[in-house]
Amino acid sequence: MRYRGSVLSNRRIAAYLQELAELVALEEGSAQAFRARAYEKAAGAVRDHPAAVAELPLADLQAIPGLGKATVTKMRQLIDTGSIDQLDRLRSLFPPDFIELTRIPGVGPKTALMLRDRLGVGNVDDLRAAIAAEQVRELPGMGARSEEKMSRGIERLGLHGKARRTPIIQALPVARECAAYLAGLDEVTEVQVCGSLRRFSDTIGDVDIVVSSELPAAVMAAVVAMPGAAEVIASGGTKTSVLTDRGLQVDVRVVAPAQFGAASVYFTGSKQHNIELRQRAMAAGLLLNEYGLEDVESGEVVAAATEEGVYQALGLAYVPPEIREGVGEVALAAEDRLPHLVGVDDIRGDLHVHSAWSGDGRSPLAEMIAAAADRGLEYVGITEHGEDLAINGLSRQQIAAERESLDELRLLHPDLTILHGAELNIAADGGVDYDDEVLSRFEWCVASVHSQFDLTQAQQTMRVIRAIENPWIDAIGHLTGRRIGKRPGIDLDFAAVFAAAADTGTALEINSHLDRLDVPAPALRQAMQVPGLRFTISTDSHHVREFGNIVWGVANARRGWVETDRVVNTLPKKAFLAWLKSRRSRS
DNA sequence: GCCGTTTTCGGCCCGACTGTTTTCAGTCG
């Protein structure tokens, strides 16, 4: 396949619109400004649109909900000229140094503008000086405590400002500890971790936890005294926010047990999902808030105790948390047409597994096989690294030796189908470790990128597509190679990659490691638009305890709207082997 | 700026906490 350079991606365009939204909010002096919210909504619509909007005619663009004449004109200007006049004007009005001020907790658009107008504060250093001179406290609505709060905020800036997001692999253990602590309190009846963590976003702003209790004051006191809570940001009768010693903000909200479902819906979000639920409630003469769904006229509570009850009372199918992003799921739920998302119980095999034969493998092969059998898997692909990974890869002699030991292990686990495979290394030119003769003897081949992450998009795309077109390669492992919060993924033209994978019948792996979650969920949504494209969800286990990571891979797949029938390792053994055979014969 | 089974104008989700106020604006989620 010939690779053609791509036009401006939806993501890039959405980023411009998002910036426009933020700057307009500043100009209007309010994040709630309707013009700002319109741009924000437009950014979301572009980001989540399945087709490349840069290639659509104007009329089609304007037909997308959330995009009107004015926004479409600006997008056209961006695509044609590479910039937007209005954005350029706003950028010069609000330089980055000034915007930095709004990252200080408690400083929003109004305050930032007042600081600039009244005190000439243009950046954080100016503000520090103004506080030192006790000038800020003279402003209307400000006082000594405001100065103190800003001062503390400046100290923390960079450590954990509003903009900083925490990778899920770091946030999840903190949330679990907090949840366990809260669940252990006598006053608490139920605990639910909500927010972006429950929606399985790959980075988290803060940890949101809802608890139910008849004694909110006691719970609030316990939260303030929670182990690891370094600083109390705010604490009222039903809501407390603390900063942990690791710099992660934890918000705990208490409601009565009868309100637990409504509160869980509300705090799980997303913001846009909530807005759509409320609009739907409003249209039915109902009011939805964190306390319940009630009839506006009679004041009668229609639903509140369970999430299922709230969705049902709104005339909606239950929406799984992973897809509550306000990107069309509410409309689908109203028509009972939500996708049939893959579930953990659907998984029947693991097709990316290492053992101590690999240099970075930790558990012996026999233990890995036994663990796979213990989990009730029907089939497993043992995929040691290929020889191009100097330290971790296997020589041809080692491959032969492992193949022999697998024969013995098969006798011990007759119910488990063991595929002797490999995780090949995709070189910069798209080639892999071995020649056809060696490759042909593997029963299952994953191929992945492990180095040279900074080639151009064209180079990366060609490299991966060449691997996809290699007839011996059954699946592409951790597609982008990203490490969340540490390393961005390689720059790929996803549309071209997905088309090639669908053409050749090569599966795309959804890697379960919390550090990777690769393919990323937004790309999965795009991939789901490509007919015939198949996935695997595998753990990439290097140790027996990592088989359990499959829950994360499945959660990420669900967030990407991946349906069960697209995932080949949900197939029963016989059907899976038939799929593999037909895949290899077609290549 | 977007949108329309009341509407091309007048709406646009809802509430807690803080710090400053005597009834509320700003910020945040």
**Gap between the Cα atoms of A524 and A504, Å rounded:** 18
In the block, residue with structure tokens 């679990």: A176
pLDDT score of A155: 79
A326 with A355, same domain: the answer is no
Tokens representing A250 are: 């934890």
Domain boundary among A128, A156, A184: A156
pLDDT score of A58: 84
How far: A146 CA to B19 C1' (Å)?
7
**Gap between the Cα atoms of A354 and A382, Å rounded:** 6
Residue nearest to nucleotide B14 (CA to C1'): A289
Mean pLDDT of A552-560: 97
The least confident of A47-56, A122-131, A193-202, A460-469 is A47-56
Identify the bridge partners of residue A213 per DSSP, sorted by sequence position. A188
Phi, psi of A207 (to 5 degrees): -95, 125
How far: A8 CA to B18 C1' (Å)?
44
Mean pLDDT of A371-386: 96
**Gap between the Cα atoms of A290 and A191, Å rounded:** 15
Q: What is the CATH number of the domain that holds A400?
A: 3.20.20.140
pLDDT score of A587: 60
A88 with A101, same domain: the answer is no
Mean pLDDT of A281-303: 88
Query: pLDDT tens digits for A476-501?
Result: 999 999 999 888 899 999 999 999 99
Query: pLDDT tens digits for A305-319?
Result: 999 999 999 999 999
Q: What is the CATH number of the domain that holds A76?
A: 1.10.150.110
A29 with A42, same domain: the answer is yes
Report if residue A474 sits inside a domain: yes
Report if residue A3 sits inside a domain: no
A430 with A568, same domain: the answer is yes
pLDDT interval class at A31 (50, 70, 90): low
| E-strand stretches of A205-291 | 207-213, 229-235, 239-244, 249-255, 286-289
A80 with A139, same domain: the answer is no
Higher pLDDT, A234 or A370: A370
**Gap between the Cα atoms of A111 and A101, Å rounded:** 9
pLDDT score of A2: 44
Mean pLDDT of A575-582: 97
Residues 6+ apart with CB under 8 A from A43: A14, A15, A17, A18, A20, A21
Q: What is the CATH number of the domain that holds A130?
A: 1.10.150.20
Residue nearest to nucleotide B1 (CA to C1'): A35
Residue A253's nearest nucleotide, by CA–C1', is: B16
For helices A10-28 and A34-47, angle between their N-to-C axes, nearest 10 degrees: 170
**Gap between the Cα atoms of A33 and A28, Å rounded:** 6
Residue A254's nearest nucleotide, by CA–C1', is: B16
Residue A296's nearest nucleotide, by CA–C1', is: B14
Give yes or no for residue A390 having a pLDDT over 80.
no
Report if residue A161 sits inside a domain: no
A392 with A471, same domain: the answer is yes
In the block, residue with structure tokens 């689908």: A332
Mean pLDDT of A290-298: 88
Residue A234's nearest nucleotide, by CA–C1', is: B17
Residue A195's nearest nucleotide, by CA–C1', is: B29
Strand B nucleotides where any atom sits below 7 Å of a protein CB: 1-3, 11-21, 25-29
A444 with A397, same domain: the answer is yes
A115 with A250, same domain: the answer is no
DSSP summary character for residue A517: -
Q: What is the CATH number of the domain that holds A185?
A: 3.30.460.10
**Considering the entire predicted model, what is its pTM?**
0.84
Mean pLDDT of A380-393: 88
**Gap between the Cα atoms of A326 and A559, Å rounded:** 12
Give yes or no for residue A320 having a pLDDT over 80.
yes
Mean pLDDT of A82-88: 90
Under a CB-based contact definition with an 8 Å cutoff, are residues A142 and A130 in contact? Answer: no
pLDDT score of A100: 84
pLDDT score of A1: 44
Give yes or no for residue A377 having a pLDDT over 60.
yes
A411 with A302, same domain: the answer is no
In the block, residue with structure tokens 């995009």: A67
Residue A64's nearest nucleotide, by CA–C1', is: B2
A329 with A356, same domain: the answer is no
Report if residue A339 sits inside a domain: no
How far: A140 CA to B24 C1' (Å)?
13
pLDDT score of A154: 83
DSSP summary character for residue A226: -
Tell me the H-state helices in A335-381: 365-374
Neighbouring CB atoms inside 10 A of A164's CB total: 17
The least confident of A2-6, A349-353, A360-364 is A2-6
Higher pLDDT, A37 or A564: A564
**Percent of chain A scoring above 70 in pLDDT:** 97
Report if residue A318 sits inside a domain: yes
How far: A280 CA to B9 C1' (Å)?
22
Report if residue A5 sits inside a domain: no
Domain that holds residue A118: 96-156
How far: A45 CA to B12 C1' (Å)?
17
**Gap between the Cα atoms of A522 and A519, Å rounded:** 8
Q: Write down the mean pLDDT value for chain A.
A: 90
Residue nearest to nucleotide B15 (CA to C1'): A289
Residue nearest to nucleotide B24 (CA to C1'): A141
* Among candidate residues A143, A111, A110, A145, the one with its CA nearest the CA of residue A127: A111
How far: A30 CA to B27 C1' (Å)?
10
Residue A288's nearest nucleotide, by CA–C1', is: B14
A221 with A309, same domain: the answer is no
Domain boundary among A310, A334, A358: A334
Residue nearest to nucleotide B13 (CA to C1'): A275
Query: What is the C-alpha end-to-end distance of chain A, expressed in Å?
Result: 14
Report if residue A428 sits inside a domain: yes
A384 with A497, same domain: the answer is yes
pLDDT score of A283: 85
Domains held by chain A: number:
5
Report if residue A143 sits inside a domain: yes
Query: pLDDT tens digits for A166-212?
Result: 899 999 999 999 999 999 999 999 999 999 999 999 999 899 999 99
Query: pLDDT tens digits for A423-469?
Result: 999 999 999 999 999 999 999 999 999 999 988 899 999 999 999 99
Higher pLDDT, A10 or A161: A10
Domain boundary among A204, A225, A255: A255
Tokens representing A212 are: 């139910």
Q: Residue A210: helix, strand or coil by DSSP?
A: strand
**Inter-residue long-range contacts of A526-531, CB under 8 Å, 24+ positions, other chains counted:** A526/A50, A526/A494, A526/A495, A526/A498, A527/A494, A527/A498, A527/A560, A528/A560, A528/A561, A528/A562, A528/A563, A528/A566, A529/A50, A530/A498, A530/A499, A530/A501, A530/A502, A531/A502
Q: In terms of C-beta density within 10 A (0-12 exposed, 13-18 middle, 19 or more buried), how is residue A215 classed?
A: middle
